[in-house]
Structure formats: C-alpha cells, structure tokens
Amino acid sequence: MPSSLQHTPRASLPIAAGLTLALGALWVPSVNAEPRTYEIDPDHFSIGFLTEHVGYADTLGMFLEGRGEFVYDEQTRELHSGTVEIATDSVFTNHEERDNHLRSDDFLDASRHSTIVFEVTDFTAHSDSEGTLEGDLSLLGETHPVTLEVTLNKADAYPFGHEQHTLGLSVRTTIARSNWGMTYGVDNGLVGDEVELILELEAIRQ
C-alpha cells in the first residue's frame, strides 16, 4: 500500500477504503483457515458525507478518489490489517466555489494534507451480517480513534466480469470534525460540526 495517494483520473480510481475489513468474516471456523488480501474495487466504491448547512438542510458530498485493502480470514473472523487512503482534493459537492473552499485551510487544507487515512485496529461481529469496526482516522495531521458500523450485504463469487469472491459492504459512522481541529463555521452555526460518513463498497479477494 503506497504511503501517499497520487491524483489520478476519476474514472480509473473512484474511492477507497478498506473500512469493511473484517466484515466478510462471519462464517464457521475452519481448521485450514487462511488469511487473504481483499482489495476495494475502484469501480464499486463510494465515500459520501452529510453535514448541516446553516440549519436549513444538509449538504451532501463525496470524495472521488481513494484506495483500500485489508488482510482477513473469513473462516476464523481474524482481521490482520487494513488501510484506506482518500485524496482530499477529490472532494466534490457539485459546486465549484464550495469545493475550492473545502480544499482550503478552513477545512481539508488539501495543499498540506493530501490524504485522509484510516487504519483498522479491531472488528467485532454482532450477528451474521452486522459488526463494529474500530480504527484510527488521520486528518489534518491529527489521528483519533473512530468506530464504524458495518453491514455485510453479500459474500459470493461475482456473477460476471472478474468472477472473483467478493464482499459487498455498507459502512456508516458520524464524527465531530472539530476533534481534528476543523472548526470553521462551528461556533456561529454556519456549518455543522457532526459529519455523517457513508461508504458503499465491494472488496475482491485476491
């Protein structure tokens, strides 16, 4: 996994995140368990966010470039590692002036901090399809723990194309951006402090 994420065309690299790492892990243990690497399919990975705007409505945005992979054993439910990197300058809210403001030092400071990084630390299964993912989120040069709720939608051989064993996952969490020093618009109520993160992805077993 490269330490930094180079800007690449949107069509070739949508958005990453190994965030769902351990959720493919909900099966009966096997004597012949083996950890495998899973890579986020760039054609089927979306990272969205929602945050309040002046109390009138939430603004919906996305990050269009990222990557992710994880090492996981589906049989034993053991997660060995996992990383997601997101290009900060790929933020998109369908409004050029607002997107440029989000890239400025009021928010993401993309010129100094080119990536947002998530490192998985643990996973706990609550049922055959739901679990909690723990990890460290690095943003604006600060790292803090976050907890994500993960839902396993499907685990099976893909019906066409690559035809590899694939995990389909939905991931949700809400963070307070001020914890990472992003305080613009918080005190005067212009921009909400809480940011809901929405991730939908397919991870292909290698």
What would the pLDDT profile of 100-111 be if each residue is shown by its tens digit?
Answer: 999 999 999 999
Looking at residue 15, what is its pLDDT?
A: 35
156 in any annotated domain: yes
pLDDT score for 32: 52
User: How many domains does the chain contain in total?
Assistant: 1
Structural domain contains residue 45: yes
Chain segment 41-52, per-residue pLDDT in tens: 999 999 999 999
- 141-150 confidence digits (pLDDT tens): 999 999 999 9
In this prediction, residue 29 carries a pLDDT of: 39
Kind of pairing, strands 57-63 and 142-157? Answer: unpaired
pLDDT of residue 125: 83
CATH number at residue 130: 2.40.128.110
Average pLDDT, the chain: 86
- Distances in Å between the alpha carbon of 14 and those of 32, 63, 90, 145? 35, 8, 9, 25
Q: Is residue 188 part of a domain?
A: yes
Q: What pLDDT was estimated at residue 74?
A: 83
**132-140 mean pLDDT:** 97
Q: Kindly indicate the confidence band of residue 33, based on its pLDDT and cuts at 50, 70 and 90.
A: low
Q: DSSP readout, 40-93?
A: EEEEEEEEEEEEEETTTEEEEEEE--EEEEEEEETTTTEEEEEEEEEEGGGEE-
With bands split at pLDDT 50, 70 and 90, how would you rate the model's confidence at 9? Answer: very low
**Longest Cα pair distance anywhere in the chain, in angstroms?**
58
User: Is residue 13 included in any domain, yes or no?
Assistant: no
> Does residue 2 lie within any of the structural domains?
no
In a domain, 5, yes or no: no
Residue range of the domain that includes 31: 18-205
Q: Does a structural domain hold residue 53?
A: yes
In a domain, 12, yes or no: no
Distances from the Cα of 47 to the Cα of 26, 160, 171, angstroms: 24, 24, 9
The band of 28, judged by pLDDT with boundaries at 50, 70 and 90, is: very low
Tokens describing residue 198: 């929405």
Tokens representing 86 are 């997101």
Is 53's pLDDT higher than 80?
Answer: yes
